[in-house]
């Protein structure tokens, strides 16, 4: 018996008891060897498929009555297609890599409200399809014989199934993140919120670079809720531990990036730069451009009016192979922020988060997860106007 | 540089009264700069002139190593960003500008 979470036994037992061969892979449960009548009235075999989201401790009940089918389109015993099953064809012949399917089914009993478990959900289709097959070949359904379920070990980066991509049926889009090696330089407010969102994509690795300590004030502009015992350790270790609950591949580096450590950024697929110091920003930007590593540099300002109200400006400067000549005109790399000498260092978590979101969404355009209509390489959000400027379009893009 | 500020090297207080009046703009134009109202007497402003209005004590922005993030919300141009070297923008009543250094994280 393959090692599998005990919680799956409840899901799999009814299939096992019914003598059905079932397997679990990539967030899907599949019933194999389903006898099905094709249009030539021959009995063939197909596979019924439904989503199965689970962790070590919890199984999500079926979200819908729908299911997929791999095999010939199911027909009545006389060869007429069973149109009442049909919802749509599966584009590309697979739901997600490793899970082929031809048809998406939607059929339910009158008065249906929900299925308590995956067996009820799939048995509904199994019965409709195999009743017709038995009319052609009475011996086609297997004798009651116990098949040990085949459960694929979870091999992805998440410690449980990505039930969000699964539920929204965009696993094939999420696959655009797979294998990517990311770095976040600076785990302050902005870097923390960038991690919060990048961690929820299936990128292979997220390397965190920061030589600073997680202190009490950091808790008020970091995602999540720190405990009073969380302070005093390294920021990268705090965030590593927090997000390690959900996924593997987070690698803490307890260093600042400087002349001596900059080569540690070589070879990444994408880097988010969220540092406070201008010279560090300049050194990192110049090095990444020399290495041909695309990156987004983030920075914000919060200032008060004479009447004591705040306003923020969040800047994201994007540097890619398509455009990099604007970096030193757009990103502050000076040694001393002259205004910082008399300005209070105000930072607010939602402005950090806004800055992070602009950067993360633009990165998702770069990997073609989100559509990118214009190719802008510079963004500035101003909170008093709730407005965004967009500029720095690559020359060849007009 | 062709601008409507006649003597850009004069000290320019942030409310803009130090500029010589522009013929036809003798009343000046009220804009919001870094959250505060400012009366501007020129027809157009460029990157360096906006920096000078906002931070009169900073070194001249044409040559300074300070990089400012300048955003402008203008009735005719919408939301735009102004970098060093960009052409001047027309000054309009109701314009909202920010001149900031965006280096925090």
Query: Cα separation of A328 and A398, whole Å?
Result: 21
Using the 8-state DSSP alphabet, how is residue B60 labeled?
Answer: P
Rama region for B9: left / alpha / beta (φ>0; ψ in -120 to 50; rest) = alpha
Contacts A278 to B, Cβ<8 Å: 103
Question: What integer pLDDT is reported at residue A172 of this predicted model?
Answer: 79
B93 alpha-carbon distance from chain centroid: 13
- SS3 category, A127: helix
Query: Cα separation of A391 and A377, whole Å?
Result: 6
**Residue in A303, A332, A389 closest to B103 by CB:** A332
Closest among B73, B70, B79 to B101, alpha carbons compared: B70
- SS3 category, A135: helix
Query: Cα separation of B57 and B76, whole Å?
Result: 30
Contacts A188 to B, Cβ<8 Å: 105
Q: Which residues contact A13 (CB under 8 A, 6 or more apart)?
A: none
Query: Are A156 and A202 within 8 A, CB to CB?
Result: yes
Q: Where are the domains of chain B?
A: 1-105
Closest among B21, B53, B56, B58 to B37, alpha carbons compared: B53
Query: Cα separation of A359 and A318, whole Å?
Result: 8
Give pLDDT tens digits for A217-258: 999 999 999 999 999 999 999 999 999 999 999 999 999 999
Interface probe for A, chosen from B14, B66, B83, B104 (most Cβ of A below 10 Å), is B104
Interface probe for B, chosen from A380, A381, A392 (most Cβ of B below 10 Å), is A380
The answer to whether B73 contacts chain A (CB < 8 Å) is yes
Query: Cα separation of B90 and B88, whole Å?
Result: 7
Q: Does position B87 have pLDDT exceeding 80, yes or no? A: yes
- SS3 category, A361: helix
Burial A117-126 (b: 16+ CB within 10 A, else e): ebbebbbbbb
pLDDT band for position A152 (50/70/90)? Answer: confident
Contacts B79 to A, Cβ<8 Å: 385, 387-390
Tokens found for residue A246: 């959900």
Interface probe for B, chosen from A280, A332, A379 (most Cβ of B below 10 Å), is A332
Give the angle subtended at the CA of A31 by the CAs of A137 and A50, to the nearest 5°: 130
**Residue in B55, B84, B104 closest to A301 by CB:** B104
Using the 8-state DSSP alphabet, how is residue A40 labeled?
Answer: T
Contact A315 B102 (CB under 8 A): yes
Contacts A281 to B, Cβ<8 Å: 103
Query: Cα separation of B55 and B60, whole Å?
Result: 10
Which residues, listed in sequence order, are joined to residue B79 by a DSSP beta bridge? B73
Decide: residue A329, CB within 10 A, 0-12 exposed, 13-18 middle, 19+ buried.
middle
Query: Are A32 and A129 within 8 A, CB to CB?
Result: no
The H-assigned helical ranges of chain A are 8-17, 118-136, 163-168, 171-174, 189-198, 216-219, 235-244, 278-291, 327-330, 349-366
CATH code of the domain occupying B1-105? 3.10.20
The DSSP secondary structure of A213-272, one letter per residue, reads B--HHHHTTSSS---TTSTTSBHHHHHHHHHHTTBS-EEEE----STTTGGGGTT-SEEE
Question: What integer pLDDT is reported at residue A174 of this predicted model?
Answer: 84
Give pLDDT tens digits for A294-348: 999 999 999 988 888 999 999 999 999 999 999 999 999 998 655 554 556 788 9
Contact A315 B79 (CB under 8 A): no
Stated length of chain A: 398
State if pTM tops 0.95.
no
The answer to whether B94 contacts chain A (CB < 8 Å) is no
Give pLDDT tens digits for A47-104: 999 999 888 888 998 988 999 999 999 999 999 999 999 999 999 999 988 899 999 9
Question: What integer pLDDT is reported at residue A1 of this predicted model?
Answer: 40
Q: Residue A315: closest CA among chain B residues belongs to which residue?
A: B102
Give pLDDT tens digits for A89-118: 999 999 988 899 999 999 998 888 899 899
Shortest distance, CA B72 to any CA of chain A (angstroms): 8
Query: Cα separation of B1 and B86, whole Å?
Result: 11
Query: Cα separation of A55 and A161, whole Å?
Result: 7
B56 alpha-carbon distance from chain centroid: 11
What is the predicted ipTM?
0.78
Closest among A60, A83, A273, A269 to A178, alpha carbons compared: A269
Q: Where are the domains of chain A?
A: 8-158, 179-397
Q: Does position B13 have pLDDT exceeding 50, yes or no? A: no
A31 alpha-carbon distance from chain centroid: 27
Query: Cα separation of B103 and A389, whole Å?
Result: 17
Average pLDDT value over all residues in chain A = 92
Decide: residue A58, CB within 10 A, 0-12 exposed, 13-18 middle, 19+ buried.
exposed
Among the ranges given (A4-13, A147-156, A184-193), the one the predictor scored with the smallest mean pLDDT: A147-156
Query: Helices (H) and strands (E) in chain B — how many of each?
Result: 1, 7
Q: How many pairs of residues across A and B have Cβ atoms under 8 Å apart?
A: 116
Among the ranges given (A137-151, A353-367, B57-71), the one the predictor scored with the smallest mean pLDDT: A137-151
Fold of A179-397: Rossmann fold (3.40.50)
């Amino acid at each position: 018996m393959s090692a599998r979470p005990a919680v799956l036994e409840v899901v799999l037992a009814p299939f096992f008891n019914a003598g059905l061969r079932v397997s679990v892979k990539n967030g899907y449960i599949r019933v194999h060897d389903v006898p099905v009548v094709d249009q030539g009235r021959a009995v063939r075999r197909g596979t019924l498929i439904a989503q199965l989201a689970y962790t070590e401790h919890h199984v999500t009940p079926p979200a819908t009555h729908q299911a997929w089918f791999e095999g010939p389109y199911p027909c009545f015993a006389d060869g007429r297609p069973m149109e009442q099953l049909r919802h749509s064809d599966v584009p590309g012949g697979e739901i997600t890599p490793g899970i082929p399917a031809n048809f998406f089914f939607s059929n339910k009993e009158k008065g249906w409200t929900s299925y308590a478990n995956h067996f009820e959900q799939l048995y509904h289709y199994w019965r409709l399809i195999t009743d017709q097959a038995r009319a052609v070949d009475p011996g086609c359904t297997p004798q009651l014989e116990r098949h040990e379920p085949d459960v694929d070990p979870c091999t992805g980066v998440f410690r449980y199934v990505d039930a969000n991509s699964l539920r929204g049926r965009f696993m094939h889009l999420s696959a655009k993140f797979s294998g990517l090696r990311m770095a976040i330089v600076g785990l302050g407010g902005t870097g923390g919120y960038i991690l919060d969102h990048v961690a929820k994509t299936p990128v292979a690795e997220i390397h965190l670079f920061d030589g600073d300590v997680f202190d009490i004030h950091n808790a008020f502009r970091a995602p999540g809720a720190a405990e009073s015992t969380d302070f005093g350790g390294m920021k990268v270790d705090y965030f590593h531990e927090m997000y390690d609950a959900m996924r593997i591949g987070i690698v803490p580096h307890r260093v600042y990036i400087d002349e001596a450590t900059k080569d540690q950024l070589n070879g990444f697929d994408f880097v988010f730069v969220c540092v406070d110091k201008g010279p560090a920003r300049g050194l990192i930007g110049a090095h990444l451009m020399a290495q041909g590593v695309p990156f987004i540099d983030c920075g914000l300002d919060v200032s008060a009016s004479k009447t004591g109200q705040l306003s923020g400006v969040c800047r994201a400067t994007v540097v890619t192979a398509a455009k990099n000549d604007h970096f030193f005109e757009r990103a502050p790399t000076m040694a001393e922020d002259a205004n910082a000498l008399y300005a209070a260092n105000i930072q607010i978590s939602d402005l950090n988060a806004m800055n992070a979101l602009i950067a993360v969404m633009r990165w998702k355009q770069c990997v073609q997860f989100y559509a990118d209509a214009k190719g802008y390489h510079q963004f500035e959000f101003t909170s008093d106007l709730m407005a965004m400027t967009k500029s720095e379009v690559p020359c060849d893009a007009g | 540089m062709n601008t409507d500020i006649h003597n850009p090297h004069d000290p320019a207080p942030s409310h803009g009264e130090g500029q010589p009046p522009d013929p036809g703009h003798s009343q000046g134009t009220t804009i919001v700069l870094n959250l505060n109202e400012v009366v501007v007497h020129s027809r157009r402003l460029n990157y360096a002139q906006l920096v000078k209005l906002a931070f009169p004590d900073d070194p001249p922005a044409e040559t300074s190593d300070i990089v400012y993030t300048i955003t402008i919300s203008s009735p005719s141009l919408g939301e735009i960003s102004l970098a060093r070297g960009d052409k001047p923008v027309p000054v309009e009543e109701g314009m909202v500008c920010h001149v900031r250094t965006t280096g925090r994280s």
